[in-house]
Amino acid sequence: MSEVTIIIDGKEVQAQKGQRLLQVALKAGADIPNLCYLPGVEPPQNGCRLCWVEVEGLKKPVTSCTQVIEEGMVVHTRTPAVDRLVRSGFEMLMSVHRLDCKVCPGNRRCALQDIAKSRKIPLKPKRLNKIEPDLPIDESRPDLGFNPNHCVLCGHCVYVCNNEVKKKILDFSQRGLATVISTFDGRPLADQECDGCTRCAEVCPVGAIYLRQ
Ligand code: SF4
Ligand code: SF4
Ligand code: FES
């Protein structure tokens, strides 16, 4: 791969041709909201729709996790159009999220809280009706718990369980607005051949899959 130079918010950044813009920008210190990107996973899931940027010469903002860098690219991470898209995407996400931070295992280490703080967007959406999910919590195991009401469907747990640990216990289930993360057969975690590696809890950016102490 050959080296290219791009400009991110006025700063020159060197990277390898063909890399995804989000990975390069985050490494260079840019603050771009993202939930579903895992470095090295190709193609990117492109599910959270939060990592918007503007690239000079392109008519519309693009998701930076899918955008491949090219020599001379000039990128802006904060424009009115980008901020609008990030805010709308975040509000949509939070409109179907059970917001009970005080009792959530993710409290104070949660990517949603970080995004809300850095973009000055309230965690509780103001413009959309809120539907608080009330799905059953799985605390069948002593070491791991799963609360689907906090899940943002980033897919990180599914990826590591299937591709790194190769246990194939977790997957996306159902479709559209009903999509949830579940075990393959729908039975609780305690009934699975899970050896408690806890990689899923490590990669969960919120408080959905968590360690039980
Ligand atoms: S996942 Fe994050 S935003 Fe949601 S309740 Fe837990 S700490 Fe709060
Ligand atoms: S449980 Fe966590 S890691 Fe898995 S999809 Fe939901 S938010 Fe992502
Ligand atoms: S990080 Fe780009 S769409 Fe989620």
- For residue range 87-138, list pLDDT tens digits in order: 999 999 999 999 999 999 999 999 999 999 999 999 999 888 888 899 999 9
Q: Which atom of ligand 1 is nearest to the CA of 207?
A: 1
pTM of the model: 0.94
Q: Are 15 and 24 in contact (CB under 8 A)?
A: yes
CA–CA dist 33, 22 (Å, integer): 10
User: How far, in Å, is the centroid of ligand 2 from the Cα of 80?
Assistant: 30
What ranges in the chain are assigned the alpha helix state H? 21-27, 80-94, 111-119, 156-159, 199-203
> Ligand 2: does its nearest atom lie under 6 Å from the Cβ of 93?
no
Class of domain 95-211: alpha beta
User: How far, in Å, is the centroid of ligand 1 from the Cα of 78?
Assistant: 25
DSSP state of 163: I
Kindly report the number of other CB atoms within 10 A of residue 202's CB atom. 12
- The token duo for 131 is 């539907």
| Per-residue confidence band for 177, with pLDDT thresholds at 50, 70 and 90 | confident
User: How far, in Å, is the centroid of ligand 1 from the Cα of 210?
Assistant: 12
User: How far, in Å, is the centroid of ligand 2 from the Cα of 125?
Assistant: 21
Domain ranges of the chain: 3-92, 95-211
Ligand 3 pocket at CB < 6 A: 34-37, 46-51, 63, 65
CA–CA dist 194, 168 (Å, integer): 9
Handedness of CA 198, 147, 45, 35 (dihedral sign): negative
CATH no., domain 3-92: 3.10.20.740
